[in-house]
Chain A
């Protein structure tokens, strides 16, 4: 059943999910609201830095939001599902959907001026949970959105951060309750690290070996698939070079899905049905044995429409904000992009944006001195 803007419908099950048809387009935040439409505190906001509520009624898992209404606190009357953009507005995004097996909510970019949108509300009405398609938002993005839910937002400090990376930082302060005195730091850290041409590197917080699982994710706009048109299929791969001089490749082509317990490619999204793109898991506890890992993306099928794919590569490092880099400046006749690297130097791990384009594996190999043998393969 399609829910248009303004439409509402009952929810008949306590446990359900909503899935975004396109992932990586935006940052998803969920606000847990009381009868006045305001958050009660820090735990009232679910986002990538805090992906679930303490009692587990709402959690974000990749492109999916899972709900368990049976444990929803009685004080929560409404749950608002929102998306925000770092730059631009929703008119520059493709049509996307929020759906489960019962309901579909579609969001068209046409005429949109908002940089933050409330997609849907899950709310109580006469002892019944319902869902409404809202499709309204704020041109100013996250700040006015959060403020409308009673979250006070502090502007980022005017001084430039000393680090060599660009942080898009918005410190958010939830309303303090009287019993909180003396004031505790109630800021939620919404910062995200963007690696750009101007500031391409960042050191990870912990030494190699003390890091947990690092997830490298590539997501992109897959485009329409149909009888006559194929969507864009990007493959994520990695070149791994060990301290002892060993080298290997991780990619779906040639069935090279893992190397010991060092690194693993999580499936291959060839159907385009996955909304989470492709991911490679790096074991951060064993990075002491590694010299460098270079992540690359290549277009296995379809034209080299890097501009249409709008790829986003994200490193999820435990305890750190997501580190993002965008696949910009793609060249039409070059279907291979060396995206980013993890470099291990003197026990420190550094993430580096590369974003260089090549004809294929071989060109990239010679540019970075991998010295591997390449043969043609298919999957």
Chain B
């Protein structure tokens, strides 16, 4: 039974899914039904150390760098429209292979070209992030972002983080304006 998280909610994976080794993080949203530019949402992943920074740009996984250097985090590719059932973009993470100095993995979603297209998360319906056990296909946790946002064009959907030796997942729901480029400096990237 998956846990439905609301903004700020957390789940302890060692309790909810103790046997889980490989995680699939699914991100989804409804495709645009009206005319105009498609909702092209991009998922980016930041693997952060204890200082909250990426060691190098190799720990920044996005549409032009689909796999981390260590191979523990794999972005399965960019869905340009949100078409199709279920997850629109997914990231696979082998928890055991995540380097020890990575304390936190942040999932950021940005709307491609949002400013020029005058798009924001308030216009995108039914966006969610969910965590699945990749091997069993069981859904562990889900956070529906739905109503919390309007003018934001970049949103931290959630994060996986180490806490006292176990992995936890948190529904962050932190939004800001500006695209992917605006988010990079806070993680020590340019």
A binds B: yes
* Residues of A participating in the B interface, judged by any CB pair closer than 8 Å: 4-8, 111, 113-114, 118, 125, 130, 132-140, 144, 148
What is the CA–CA distance of A7 and B34 in the complex, to the nearest angstrom? 17
Hey, which chain B residues are within 8 Å of A6, CB to CB? 120-123, 149-151
What is the CA–CA distance of A132 and B120 in the complex, to the nearest angstrom? 13
One of A113, A132, A138 near B122 (C-beta < 8 A): A132
Q: Convert B135-177 into 0s and 1s, putting 1 for each residue whose CB lies closer than 8 angstroms to a CB of A.
A: 0000000000011011100000000000000000000000000
What is the CA–CA distance of A231 and B33 in the complex, to the nearest angstrom? 38
12 extra A-B contacts, CB within 8 A, seeds A111-B118, A125-B147:
A5-B118, A8-B147, A8-B150, A113-B36, A114-B36, A135-B123, A137-B34, A138-B34, A138-B35, A139-B35, A140-B35, A148-B33
A-B contact pairs, 30 of them (CB 8 A): A4-B122, A4-B150, A5-B118, A5-B122, A6-B120, A6-B121, A6-B122, A6-B123, A6-B149, A6-B150, A7-B122, A7-B151, A8-B122, A8-B150, A113-B36, A114-B34, A114-B35, A114-B36, A125-B146, A125-B147, A130-B147, A133-B122, A135-B123, A136-B34, A136-B36, A136-B123, A138-B34, A140-B35, A144-B35, A148-B33
* Residues of B participating in the A interface, judged by any CB pair closer than 8 Å: 32-36, 118, 120-123, 146-147, 149-151
Instruction: Write the nearest CB–CB distance from A142 to chain B, whole angstroms.
Output: 13
Hey, which chain B residues are within 8 Å of A118, CB to CB? 34
Residue on B nearest A111 in the bound complex, by CB: B118
Hey, which chain A residues are within 8 Å of B33, CB to CB? 148
Instruction: Write the nearest CB–CB distance from B173 to chain A, whole angstroms.
Output: 15
Hey, which chain A residues are within 8 Å of B118, CB to CB? 5, 111
What is the CA–CA distance of A135 and B119 in the complex, to the nearest angstrom? 11
**B147 lies within 8 A of A7 (CB):** no
Instruction: Write the nearest CB–CB distance from B39 to chain A, whole angstroms.
Output: 11
Hey, which chain B residues are within 8 Å of A139, CB to CB? 35
Instruction: Write the nearest CB–CB distance from A3 to chain B, whole angstroms.
Output: 8
Kindly count the residue-residue contacts between A and B in the assembled complex, taking CB atoms under 8 Å apart.
48
What is the CA–CA distance of A8 and B34 in the complex, to the nearest angstrom? 18
**A4 lies within 8 A of B35 (CB):** no
Residue on B nearest A113 in the bound complex, by CB: B35
What is the CA–CA distance of A58 and B122 in the complex, to the nearest angstrom? 25
Hey, which chain A residues are within 8 Å of B32, CB to CB? 136
Whether A4 touches B151, Cβ cut-off 8 Å, given contacts A132-B122, A134-B123, is yes
Instruction: Write the nearest CB–CB distance from B2 to chain A, whole angstroms.
Output: 19
What is the CA–CA distance of A140 and B34 in the complex, to the nearest angstrom? 10
What is the CA–CA distance of A113 and B36 in the complex, to the nearest angstrom? 8
Residue on B nearest A114 in the bound complex, by CB: B35
What is the CA–CA distance of A234 and B123 in the complex, to the nearest angstrom? 39
Residue on A nearest B124 in the bound complex, by CB: A6
**B35 lies within 8 A of A137 (CB):** yes
What is the CA–CA distance of A97 and B32 in the complex, to the nearest angstrom? 24
What is the CA–CA distance of A246 and B120 in the complex, to the nearest angstrom? 64
What is the CA–CA distance of A3 and B107 in the complex, to the nearest angstrom? 28
Instruction: Write the nearest CB–CB distance from B83 to chain A, whole angstroms.
Output: 16
Residue on A nearest B33 in the bound complex, by CB: A148
What is the CA–CA distance of A232 and B33 in the complex, to the nearest angstrom? 38
Instruction: Write the nearest CB–CB distance from B150 to chain A, whole angstroms.
Output: 4
Hey, which chain B residues are within 8 Å of A8, CB to CB? 122, 147, 150
What is the CA–CA distance of A5 and B35 in the complex, to the nearest angstrom? 15
